[in-house]
Amino acid sequence: MGSDTPRRDRRDSLARSAFRRSARLAGLPLGYAGRATLGLGKRIGGATADSVNQELQARTADQLFRVLGELKGGAMKVGQIMSMMESFLPDEVAAPYRDKLMALRDSAPPMPTSRVHAVLTRELGADWRRNFSRFDPRPAAAASIGQVHRAAWSDGREVAVKVQYPGADEALRSDLKQLGRMAAVAGPLAGGMNIREIAEEFAERIDEELDYRLEAESQEVFAEGFAGDPEFLVPHVVAHTPKVLISEWIDGVPLTDIAGREPEPRNETGLKYVRFLFAGPSRVGLLHADPHPGNFKVVSDGRLGAVDFGLVARLPDGLPEEIGRTLRIAMSGDDEAAVANLRQEGFLTRDVDAELVMDYLRPFVEPAKTDQFSFTRAWTQQIYRDANADSVAAREFGRAFNLPTDYLLIHRVWMGGIAVLSQLGITADFRSVLDEFLPGFAPEPA
């Protein structure tokens, strides 16, 4: 009887926690509606429409950031994706949210030190401190399902200790059930992405993200495959358990910081970012499937460091040749041939206007047409405007387009990478990366 009480108390606590999380997520649309009512009152009182709209947007941004950040889990993950895709949105829509969403990339409110120690004791044993010669109780970074502490391993190596939040699995599953209700509020910030589809994709891969043993395995594959590389640095795994991952520490400047650099070093680093994303499937059969800039650092020797391998796509044969072949056909300007190829490959399930297909392929085709392409917010924003100019046509294409499950992560990485390059203002030879790493893209030798 007594032994069941702690388990029952824990279940009750988790149920209450899940209820609170659900209430806060569900409260986002209600909070927005309340602010709209407040705005109407101010308009009646004589305030201008522009001033009221700006105030409403600022308050909505504050609430979105606070709820997504504090809840962590799936809510924060979607917020991080939104922070990448905001470069597609017109400035008048995205500006109030930009700074708040950017902050979700690298930080969230940390968990108390006592909880960190409790997890380390449970995972590494009561004498866990013996493994370290130093352990910083302050987190170096706090993200969606875990936070990172800097420490020194017993042999003197500087290490990053990633500790999963207690109850992160229950929180993540709870969030994924509720995130669909955020679509009405978060939709304008999602760069055309379907929030419900994102939540469903995360739900299918939830166990991979929550088990640090799988992440450690993927990270070590990358670390071995890129060992000694002059362009890239992937830290080796030092130790791991299901809820704790200890890796070699990487000192470096966050990728986002290169936005203020001179064009030449900025463009060089941006090209390395693209090359790493495409090189993974070719070199180690894995795609780093979380391309947000918080996972990349510029090391002092110029290499690009990559971390966080909790979400990967397993591509033992490299990127699918169908992608490269379709892109090459689309670049030729033969719209009908591109549509026929997509239909043959199973991407189109019904007849659809060729112009709609080319609009969809545009962000992939245009950067591949020239030796040097400039990724800018103005370019991505125009793509967004064009894609949403005719909502009926957009829905028609959505019903006709069929993206196989195996391609979902590839598509998200490609679109996320384009968004990040546009945020940073990168000009680079994108086509050379496709020639080197994308099967089916390079023209056959004469």
Mean pLDDT taken over the chain? 77
* Range of weakest confidence among 99-103, 271-275, 303-307, 436-440: 99-103
Could you give the angle at which helices 4-44 and 168-178 cross, rounded to 10 degrees? 40
Task: In whole angstroms, give the CA distance from residue 354 to residue 360.
Answer: 10
Helices (H) and strands (E) in the chain, counts: 18, 13
| Beta-bridge mates of residue 152 | 134, 158
Is the pLDDT assigned to residue 369 strictly greater than 80? Answer: yes
Domains and CATH numbers, the chain: 4-106+178-194 (no CATH), 113-169+205-248 (3.30.200.20), 321-437 (no CATH)
Task: In whole angstroms, give the CA distance from residue 162 to residue 139.
Answer: 9
Is the pLDDT assigned to residue 366 strictly greater than 60? Answer: yes
Task: In whole angstroms, give the CA distance from residue 227 to residue 141.
Answer: 25
Is the pLDDT assigned to residue 49 strictly greater than 50? Answer: no
Task: In whole angstroms, give the CA distance from residue 122 to residue 244.
Answer: 10
Tokens read off for 113:
């030190």
Using the Cα atoms of residue 169, residue 170, residue 175 and residue 177 in order, give the sign of their dihedral.
positive
Tokens read off for 162:
């990633």
The residues, ordered by sequence, that sit 6+ positions from 20 with a Cβ below 8 Å of its Cβ are none
Residue 50 neighbours by CB distance under 10 Å: 8
84 within 8 A of 92, measured Cβ to Cβ: no
pTM: 0.77
How large is the C-alpha radius of gyration of the chain?
23
Unique residue bearing structure tokens 């966080």? 308
User: What is the pLDDT confidence band of residue 433, given thresholds at 50, 70 and 90?
Assistant: very high
The whole-number pLDDT of residue 393 equals 76
Task: In whole angstroms, give the CA distance from residue 217 to residue 310.
Answer: 10
Task: In whole angstroms, give the CA distance from residue 306 to residue 296.
Answer: 5
**8-state DSSP, 444:** P
Is the pLDDT assigned to residue 295 strictly greater than 60? Answer: yes
How would you class 305 by CB atoms within 10 Å of its CB: exposed for 0-12, middle for 13-18, buried for 19 or more? buried
Using the Cα atoms of residue 331, residue 337, residue 339 and residue 342 in order, give the sign of their dihedral.
negative
Burial track 72-105 (b if 16+ CB lie within 10 A, e otherwise)? bbbbbbbbbbbbbbbbbbeeebbebbbebbbebb
For residue 362, which amino acid is it? R
For residue 129, which amino acid is it? R
Higher pLDDT, 107 or 359: 359
User: What is the pLDDT confidence band of residue 44, given thresholds at 50, 70 and 90?
Assistant: very low
The whole-number pLDDT of residue 167 equals 80
